[in-house]
Every structure is written in C-alpha cells, then in structure tokens.
C-alpha cells in the first residue's frame, strides 16, 4: 500500500527500457524509502536495453530484473511528479500533478560507451530532484 506522506515520482519514456529505467533506478538507489518510484513507457519494449543494464552495473546498480511497463492513467494519478523523457505528448496530463520534461537522447541501439554520458546526466538530474522533493534530514 503506497504511503501518501511520501513524494512519488513517475518516469516516462517511449520504451521504458533505457532513460526511465535508469532514472527510476538512481532515484530508488539514492532515496531509499524516502520516495515512491515508478516508471513506464508509452510503447514498452520487451526488455531493458542491455547497454543500459551494463552501464548501470558499472555504478553498482542492478536493473537486470526490471521489466518495461505500460503507461497507465492510474500510474499518473498515483504520482506527485511526472517526468517525461521524449514522450510528453502521450502522457496523460492531470490537474494537480507536477510535470517535468527532460530532453534526453534515446539510448536505443547504442552501446555502453554512448550510454555512460546519459547515465551521468540522469544521475545529476536525479540528485537535484531528490534534494528538492525529499532532502535528507539533518541530525
């Protein structure tokens, strides 16, 4: 059962096999239980991009068991922040939700070397988002 007190973020890209999977994995890794994380695609692929799996493994994050999921209105309704990555037109726009559009290249068909700079860009964006929506409490 989702915790309504936690901020929730939905990452959406076309195939839910690259950008959105990396973003969701970084946010899950960095936020722990401070944020609910979802990802989906407007036209999901059959599997996560192998170059994305390899690039994320290089930084100690395993996305090999992740499965691309279809974007639903329910996923948008359950999220506070919706971040689109190249599929903004297909994402339902609902009142009261915050929408961000991150212009990021699609890693489909690219090797690990091409995915690394994208991975670094996504990590930096996630760190900024996390500082904004769920900063760590100071002791």
Low-confidence spans in the chain with pLDDT less than 70: 1-4, 87-90, 138-139
Distances (CA, A) of 50 to 16, 47, 100, 126: 13, 8, 26, 22
Active site residue ranges: 13, 87, 91
pLDDT of residue 92: 75
pLDDT of residue 75: 94
pLDDT of residue 52: 98
pLDDT of residue 44: 94
């Amino acid at each position: 059962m989702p915790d309504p007190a936690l901020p929730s973020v939905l990452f959406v890209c076309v195939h839910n096999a690259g950008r959105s999977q990396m973003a969701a994995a970084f946010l899950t890794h960095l936020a722990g239980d401070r944020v609910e994380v979802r990802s989906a695609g407007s036209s999901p692929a059959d599997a996560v991009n192998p170059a994305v799996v390899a690039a994320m493994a290089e930084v100690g994050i395993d996305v090999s068991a992740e499965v691309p999921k279809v974007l639903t209105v329910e996923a948008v309704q359950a999220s506070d922040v919706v971040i689109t990555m190249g599929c903004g037109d297909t994402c339902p726009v609902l009142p009261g939700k915050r929408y961000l559009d991150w212009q990021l290249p699609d890693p489909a068909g690219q090797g690990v070397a091409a995915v690394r700079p994208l991975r670094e860009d996504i990590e930096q964006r996630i760190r900024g988002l996390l500082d904004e929506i769920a900063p760590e409490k100071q002791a």
